[in-house]
A and B are shown apart, each in its own frame.
Chain A
Amino acid sequence: MPQPILERSPILELRGVDKIFGDFAAVERVDLSIAEGEFFTIVGPSGSGKTTLIRMLVGMDAPTRGEILLRGQRINETPANKRPFCMVFQSLALFPHMTVGENVAYSLKCRGIGKKERRERATECLALAHLPASYYDRAVTKCSGGEKQRVALARALAYDPEVLFFDEPLSALDYRLRKTLEKELKDIQRETGKTFIYITHSLEEAMVMSDRIGVMRDGRLAQVGSPREVYDRPRTRFVSEFFGEVNAFPVTAKDGRLWCEPLAMAFDPPPDAPAGFKSGALIVRPEHLHFDPAAAEPIRGEVFNEYLLGSRVQYQVRAGGTTLLVEGMGGQPPATREVALSFSPADSLLFAE
């Protein structure tokens, strides 16, 4: 078993980093510590500042305030080409006038490494990225989308960086290829033991690969934690909703219970409900809502739509003027259109407003 992530020494640290463009703060007060050999993913909607953050780490932009530390050393002033980092761009940014091999070996050429050694090392990196050595002399423009991804990865690996950055490199690929490459990427990270920092707006992608996830919103890190933590214990309603559609019940505290006006019923609070809660939202994920005809205090509603989501089925249920989402494995469809729903308070999340 690998050492638990947080006990390893940090390779990269951000302390109070801001990036201001004019009067707009693209990144604001970010503190973050990334451990050696970690696969860290930054997730956020577009415009949340994740690309700006990564550009500052790589050295293409300078922070307005704050410090970036590499193994405890400040690197704010170190230019990109002097940082032991490498980035796989969203556009891949392959050099179209070069062959696959020249692309991969470019960093070695810049370092003045001889032709023969360049070829050897580039070929190794091609292999790591699952490209055969025969691709070395192929024009990069002749490669397919997936192959280009691999070339970009091999090129970054050839640089032998201490940290590899990825700026949504898989977003343009079809679903299946993306899934394959996600797993490969994770494998390569494990094989090489390098630190990977990955940006994506797809939570699914983040869940598959990451050791830890940082969720960004409006230039700030809303939450950092393992995929499990972030999924199960989102710290804000935004984080919880970022993981997909949820049911949000407006509730107010009443006699130790949570009164939901639209449904005209009360719920038990979750065990870790914040003390002194007055009003807010009770979040229940669709998969935690169950058809439960035997429930003591059921939510009564009427199924009016159902979608097949691969192995799962999603139902839309109208209850008390709102629409609820229920996801099941498809095993037990409701017998009638009139249904009773329930959930376990332990599966609900309570956010104050």
Chain B
Amino acid sequence: MTDLSETLPASAASARPSEAPARPAWRPSTGLLCALPMLLLLGLGFLAPLLIVAVYSFMPRGTFSLTSAPTFENYVDIVAQNFHISFLWSIWLALLTTVILMAVCWPLAVSIKKLSPSRALLLTVLIVAPLFVAENIRLQGWSLFLDRAGLLDGGLKATVGLSTGSLTANVPVVVFGMVYIYLPFMLFPMMLGLANVPPAALEAAQDLGASRWQQFRDIELPLAAPGLVIGALLVFVISLGAFSESKFLGKGVIVTVSEDIESAFTFGQNWPRGSALSVLVIVLAGAAAFFGLRRLDLDSMLGRK
């Protein structure tokens, strides 16, 4: 055999590229300086309001200022009253929406990936287009379609003499509404995730004897996981705060946490209660994001290795 001292791994290991050169003593990097305006904006526009909400949640009932002595009464009230019902509904609906959207969007994303770029663009535009119409208006549209004597019921009655009655004011229609509204939030991260799956890797797996299921489980799913996790997180967190769907399609069949929050801030005239409910939702969403993102390598998601 030839002398492979240069090419053999044993010696190659000594010069691994992963060992970065030592950093000089700390000084503000260009990156930090560039990020400064954004950090300021986030601090003022995002953290400060959050902080105010958090402080409000410890104010006594019905106050509209932040100067009273702090109290836990809002949280005590929330536990004492039946708020667990709306929390459980919100969490359950968010989970259900996330799972359904994963199942619905996966084949869609895989098919879009296989399309020619121009067709994929067309389809993407068609999927994005409804986002330019306000959510409430789209949901009202569905309500008009599904209500008794609505477009569907009336149309069927006029053509084939069948009646569906009202298809609104039930839980499944709420789930449908959420799946419909949040589809893009799952689809696009998922497409991004699937873009991380080199077609050759799938072919290689197939070539190595992997069945379609094994290719999906061992190659596609793990490689697309970052997109999947981002999509699931987005959908879960946004659905947790959903209220238009239960309002416009559910018509009072259930109450979500966000409806409770809205009621507390408006008719309830109880900003501290609304704030306390908001804090709890934020904690829930934060926990979900924390556990989700912990499993995720954002660098590999963005294509850095």
Q: Which residue in B7, B222, B305 is a CB contact (below 8 Å) of A141?
A: B305
Given contacts A95-B201, A146-B12, contact A86 B305 (CB under 8 A): no
A110 to B206, CA, bound (A): 10
Nearest residue in A to B10 (C-beta to C-beta)?
A132
A183 close to B210 (CB less than 8 A): no
Q: Which residues of A contact B204 (CB under 8 A)?
A: 87, 89, 93-95
> In chain A, what residue has the closest Cβ to B3?
A180
With beta carbons under 8 angstroms apart, the residue of B2, B7, B218, B222 that contacts A146 is: B7
**A192 to B207 Cα, complex, angstroms:** 20
CA of A222 to CA of B279 in the docked complex: distance in angstroms? 75
Q: How far is the CA of A16 from the CA of B205 in the complex (A)?
A: 29
Q: Which of these, B7, B8, B203, contacts A93 with CB under 8 Å?
A: B203
What residues of A have a CB within 8 angstroms of the CB of B8 in the complex?
130
Contacts A91-B198, A146-B12; is A81 near B210 (CB within 8 Å)?
Answer: yes
Considering residues A110, A130, A155, which has the most beta carbons from chain B within 10 angstroms of its beta carbon?
A: A110
Q: For residues 171 through 216 of chain B, which have their beta carbon under 8 Å from a beta carbon of chain A?
A: 198, 200-201, 203-211, 214
CB distance from A152 to the nearest CB of B (A): 9
Tell me if B18 counts as interface (CB < 8 A to partner A): yes
B9 sits at the interface (CB 8 A) = yes
Q: Is the CB of A106 within 8 A of B9?
A: no
* Docked CA distance A110–B208 (Å): 8
Residue B234, interface by CB 8 Å = no
Would you give the shortest CB distance from B298 to chain A, in whole angstroms?
15
A59-95, CB under 8 A of B: which get 1 and which 0? Answer: 1100000000000000000011110011101010111
Cβ of B305: which chain A residues have Cβ within 8 Å of it? 141
Q: Is the beta-carbon distance between B9 and A80 smaller than 8 angstroms? A: no
Q: Does A97 contact B (CB under 8 A)?
A: yes
Q: A93-B204, A106-B218 are in contact. Are A135 and B9 (CB under 8 A)?
A: yes
With A132-B10, A180-B4 known to touch, is A159 a contact of B198 (CB < 8 Å)? no
The distance from the CB of B102 to the nearest CB of chain A, in whole angstroms, is 19
- CB distance B4 to A130 under 8 Å? yes
Say whether B203 contacts A80, CB under 8 Å. Answer: yes
Query: Known: A80-B206, A89-B204, A110-B210. Is A131-B9 also a contact (CB below 8 A)?
Result: yes
- 6 example contacts (A-B, Cβ-Cβ < 8 A) are as follows A59-B207, A81-B206, A87-B203, A91-B198, A110-B208, A147-B12
Closest 3 A-B residue pairs measured CB to CB?
Answer: A93-B200, A93-B204, A107-B208
